[in-house]
Structure 1
Amino acid sequence: MIKAKIYIPTKNSMQSGLGKADKWVIKFETENAGVNPLMGWETSSNTYSELNLEFSTKELAADYAKKNKIDFEIIEPQKRKTVKKSYADNFLK
């Protein structure tokens, strides 16, 4: 059975905004990974690991996985902590 993870991809460290952070992705796990004898690269006979499917909601992604008999794991996003700061706080302590 095909295994997959459903999650919201994180932004890289150079991005600070929250725009376009609402897409849920199904990413398939690599199965039967091995080493290519000619080049020495990691290889797999399963090409699902190269495929990422995007959905607008977690429920749509889970429904797609259930409909296509994909064993999946949902990874919930961590809540972002925001600390409100004031410029004046630099001089009050």
Structure 2
Amino acid sequence: MKVRILKPAKSAMQSGQANSKEWVLESEPSPTQIDPLMGWTSSRDTMQQVQIWFPTLEEAKAHAERNGWQYAVEMPQSHAVRPKAYADNFAYTRVGRWTH
């Protein structure tokens, strides 16, 4: 079975870093089938619903190797945080005009 190990990005609805510090091991998506009678999308693979959380990448790799799973690691992308101050909105050197 193929699995992927990744660090999930934070939700767009959160300002903090909750649930983005641990590593997640999840199954690769398998092809889905369309039920001919109802038209519902289904899959026989129940491992798609399982997410296993690990505090470190090494523990996630060890768990995948212990179970004989092929794994791919997706490293998180870093982003630069620019410090801002509320007073910058009213600075004389502001490039754009200030309107309500």
Partners in 2 of 1:87 and 1:30 — Cα distance?
Answer: 44
**TM-score with structure 2 setting the length:** 0.80
After superposition, the C-alpha distances for 1:16-42 in whole angstroms (9 at most, x for unaligned) are 112442111011023242112232122
Letter in structure 1 aligned against 2:43: S
Partners in 1 of 2:87 and 2:31 — Cα distance?
Answer: 58
The SS at the match of 2:26 is: strand
The total of aligned residue pairs comes to: 92
Structure number with bigger Rg: 2
Aligned to 2:43: 44
Partners in 1 of 2:82 and 2:34 — Cα distance?
Answer: 47
Partners in 1 of 2:3 and 2:64 — Cα distance?
Answer: 8
Aligned to 1:26: 25
Q: Which runs of 4+ in 1 moved over 3 A?
A: 86-90
Q: Tell me the CA shift for residue 87 of structure 1.
A: 3.8
- After TM superposition, the structure 1 stretch with the greater mean CA deviation from structure 2, 48-57 or 82-91, is 82-91
What root-mean-square deviation, in Å, do the aligned CA atoms of Structure 1 and Structure 2 show? 1.6
Q: Which runs of 5+ in 2 are unaligned?
A: 94-100
Seq. identity, %:
34
Q: Which runs of 5+ in 1 are unaligned?
A: none
